[in-house]
Structure 1
């Protein structure tokens, strides 16, 4: 039986030789890149300095056009009989677990935020009037010119067959990008950037699983392209300059209005300064001014209807356990009325319920500054001590998942009771 099996194999090889044909197969390999670069949360960043629009995919190959997740292909293995006839030919088709445009966007959000920029993704920016945005905001538009993921092979000479097998992965990406100031159609910067990475010996030593190495290689190429955008466009420096200039002007105008006893104009000016504050120190200086204005004002500073609307909507979202969106709406309410102490208090509780202790602490400090005589002041300060301890074990930009903890102290406003009951 062994002999007949041997001769059957020889007969089959001979038939392949006569026909000049072989076996060709493909293997789809999906790289789990969304684990490393997750999609943006449904809620957008509060008062972002950078707006990232929908990434445009202009890759031209038939394979790329046929599939939005296709990244490239590479020869997995092949065999040659008598150095001429193909016996076996296997290909790897590399796919992303999310569309290419979304993948590029997710990496861009990660790199921009990692550089310290406040970024929001606006998929509808193409139909939204950029003039409705603030001149302090920068718009980033990116286009995929090409992306190619493939692998090299190593050749193995055998007795009567030449063989080749997968060796290492390489990734190349080319992006076109523009950076614009909101309201100005002329780009501040535009250019073409490249990213390239390969499966080095160092990566092979660090990651034992091939799928992990492949994910790292593709990620490095994409990150390299976005690093080039950051470096060449100087977007961080430009954004900081625009926001600092706007803050200085708004704060100065507010101080002048306060000195002239125009309380309404002063509140409007300080709210505008708060909106463009780029640092905690700038936001703190606004809150200090508002606290001073509050102490000297004869009447309590009223809550504008628009701020009340955002506050009510935020409360509704908390009841539905849509906490991230609620935090954003509280931010929008405080943009309109940064003197609203209870709004800072509420936002801090929801942030803490999401393990965002640094942000919760910053919000609670603003509450204490605006309402030092509040019945909740003592409990609020104690909560700050707890959050400071929790924050020490967190990275600079925590992204914790919701927890089952009960935030306190108990607030004293019609907006608060539903929040406390829901977050418990």
Structure 2
């Protein structure tokens, strides 16, 4: 057993787990004050539910021996993680199987949580939890098998078709995580429809410091997300770490420059959003490009995503917190950019078009990206429509106006009554502060 690699993977898994509370803060600050708790609960609910499902059967579906032509792992092979506690090594070599189980579990959690930003302010929490379980089972677990499950060297274990068939490069989840979640977010936004007042009323972020704190935690945790995917504390992890840093930095600059030229000012929301866009774009490419290539990917991602978040106004879909504009567009760019910018000098050892590799890698990247996009969008659309027609997905119009925190959770994020001159002396009962009384601050989410 390689204790150094084990320590690195367990620490990285902990960093990735921290990303989901970071996402809760990021999303929570971006919504109006009357929705902040619901937004954060959707992330925490995903942590609770997907953690259990991963242990029960999710890991087996994703990393069990293939039983469906590269589409599905054996769901009963590791049911309840049986047999894995005694296994001292995994196919990574020297890494305990349970360390790999834990590392991949947090990827599943945050992928589901990412979707919630597209349907902020208007989704029933109970239905969201049902959706999260169904979506993880039918979409994420199989797609993780496609992308992350590799054939063993001796041929005794077979994996997914993207990893082993077309051999597309996706080091840490540009397809399985970001394109997957972005396409699902678009489908759900179409199913649930627009928020009341979308395009007419200001829907500003209510707490920009929360947004920036969440973005900072995401950036911090993302080093575990990307560099941890090396599964060892080695040169690959080191190159990936640096590429992750510099691509994200370049994306922030690209987003802020776009805002400055377009709107006349650079915003804190733009800085936070640019960081996430850069992190998304470099995720699939971090092992296959040079630091200069990472700068190019990040810079383009910052500009491209800053422009893409406005597409919802042009096409009329209400992607509340820009899951489509950042994760779908950023994930597509980062995945396809490998076909242009990959260099054989990087740890992945593959060359793209600009480094003498021709178009061979480019078509592989495009096929992998578009396949995940289509699969996720269509299946999510079906799941969403079924849930909407049966148990109901969207909250009532009156509840939406009153505030989803109060109606779904009987709580409010800010007890403003305590700031007034009311009676004192008794303990406050949760949920009594008026949800709609909180002030809003900042700029339009997608100005």
Fold match, TM over 0.5? no
Instruction: Determine which structure has more spread, i.e. the larger CA radius of gyration.
Output: 1
Structure with higher helix content = 2
Identify which of structures 1 and 2 has the higher relative contact order when contacts are C-alpha pairs closer than 8 Å and 6+ apart. 2
TM-score computed with the length of structure 2 as normaliser: 0.26
Q: Under a length normalisation based on structure 1, what TM-score does the superposition of the two structures give? A: 0.27
